[in-house]
Amino acid sequence: MGIDARERRELAAAVRDAAASGPRGFLDEAGHPRRDTRLWKVLTEQMGLAGLLLPEPDADGGAGVTEVALVLEQLARSLAVVPGLSSLGSAATLLRLTGTEPALALMERMAEGEVTATVMWPDLAAPSVVPEVVADGPVAAGADSRVTGRAEIVLDAADADVLLVPARNGIQAVVVAVEAHGPEVTCAARNGLDLTRGLAAVDLAQAPGTVLGSGVDLPAALDLTLVLIAAEQVGIAQQCHDAAVQWAKERIQFDRPIGQFQAVKHRLVDLLMALELARSALDVATRAGDDYLAEPTPEHARALAVAASMAKAQCGAAATTVADESLHILGGIGFTWEHDAHLYLRRAKSLEVLFGAPATHRARFANLLLQEAAHA
């Protein structure tokens, strides 16, 4: 890829500065966040981050999964109320893998900030893709289609402009773009544990749409989404650890900062080790993702699947542990509504089970390695 380490550091700092205001002004206690439109315009129209995955030569700088993961990590550190994971991440990767003219045209509209998109995955609790929505009509890219089905939970669907729907048309798997607020589409907001991310149930009843492509590697698209979820989890763990360390330096008990107490120091070191192991797993997964985008061979797809599950398991456990333990280090202030610690723990817990809990991905990781060994 064309972005070097220095440029990545500058990108991370720019995103972190843009999102520094935090989520508080966009939340309500009912669990229905509203988008930070100012920040979204900065990220898309001014910084051009919605076009990171446009294939070369259209993309400026030749960015890839590594750069998208970096952006999502920084957005997670501030719990920014924008459709980062859904639009910048999951939708953009699915469109990139689809790769047809209609898919790339939609990517360009997203890059210009005209629309946001989200993927209507069939089951947000499973690490696999079995399309349940049914599509009628031709399967050629650009053809009109009618789709019918339901998804119980779709990320950011209430505020999205376009739904990307993996569907089955006979024996073919297709990706259909449906206007989120178009005819025959019902979108009902749902409460979630994470107060900073919108959820909705979506019903499609012969909803009109456009076929973006067929024969798309949906499992690989989901694996790329797992990698980007892991990036958010690393961002949460990093922010929580930083907050705990800073508090340990400032909080005075018995005329000493609590960070001088051995029990607190040992706990912070243990959390740092969990964070660094998670970051290492994420680095392996982002490289596997970039290798697959550059050359989508079966070998790279298998490597991506292994790395994605490894990262999802390692980063999911780390984010939840660090967020939980950091809240305890903060003490009484960490348990109040006014402090952001509970918001990070909510995000960590919701991401931990999204597309499979750590135990599920450890089992998948082991099975994939056993299959590789059997065919070696």
Query: Three-state SS string across 184-231, please?
Result: CEEEEEECCCCCCCCEEEEEEEEEEEEEEEECCCHHHHHHHHHHHHHH
pLDDT band at 332 (very low <50, low <70, confident <90, very high): confident
Between 29 and 174, the higher pLDDT residue: 174
Cα–Cα dist 369/372, whole Å: 5
Q: Where are the beta strands (DSSP E) in the chain?
A: 117-119, 133-136, 144-155, 162-169, 172-179, 185-190, 199-214, 252-253, 256-257
Q: What pLDDT is attached to residue 104?
A: 96
DSSP 60-109: SS---HHHHHHHHHHHHHTT--S-IIIIIIIIHHHHHHH-SHHHHHHHHH
Contact yes or no for 311/281 (Cβ under 8 A): yes
67 close to 136: Cβ distance less than 8 angstroms? no
Residue 309: band (very low, low, confident or very high) from pLDDT cuts 50, 70, 90: very high
Please name the residues in contact with 240: beta carbons below 8 A apart, sequence gap of 6 or more. 322, 323, 326, 327, 341, 344, 348
pLDDT at res. 372: 83
In the block, tokens 């920014």 appear at 80
Q: Which two tokens stand for residue 48?
A: 């051009």
Whole-number CA gyration radius for the chain: 21
The pLDDT assigned to 59 comes to: 44
Is the preceding peptide bond at 57 cis, omega within 30 degrees of 0?
A: yes
pLDDT at 248: 93
What percentage of the chain has pLDDT greater than the value 70? 97
Average pLDDT, whole number, for the chain?
93
For the chain, the straight-line distance linking the first and the last C-alpha, in angstroms and rounded, comes to 30
Distance of alpha carbon 314 from alpha carbon 316, whole angstroms: 6
What's the token pair of residue 201?
């149930």
Query: Domains along the chain?
Result: 5-116 (1.10.540.10), 118-214 (2.40.110.10), 218-375 (1.20.140.10)
Write out pLDDT tens, residues 36-79.
999 999 999 999 999 999 887 544 446 899 999 999 999 999 99
pLDDT at 55: 85
Tokens of 117: 């998109």
Q: How far apart are CA 174 and CA 172, in angstroms?
A: 6
Q: At what angle do helices 358-375 and 298-330 cross, to 10 degrees?
A: 150
Structure confidence by residue, pLDDT tens digits, 213-271: 999 999 999 999 999 999 999 999 999 999 999 999 988 888 898 888 989 999 999 99
pLDDT in tens, 120-150: 999 999 899 999 999 999 999 999 999 999 9
When pLDDT is cut at 50, 70 and 90, the band that residue 1 belongs to is very low
**pLDDT digits over 70-109, tens only?**
999 999 999 999 999 999 999 999 999 999 999 999 999 9
Q: Give the residue among 63, 55, 127, 110 at the shortest CA–CA distance from 286.
A: 63
How much is the pLDDT for 5? 82
Concatenate the DSSP letters of all residues of 340-353 into one string: THHHHHHHHHHHHH
Buried b (16+ CB within 10 A) or exposed e, 226-250: bbbbbbbbbbbbbbbbebbbebbee
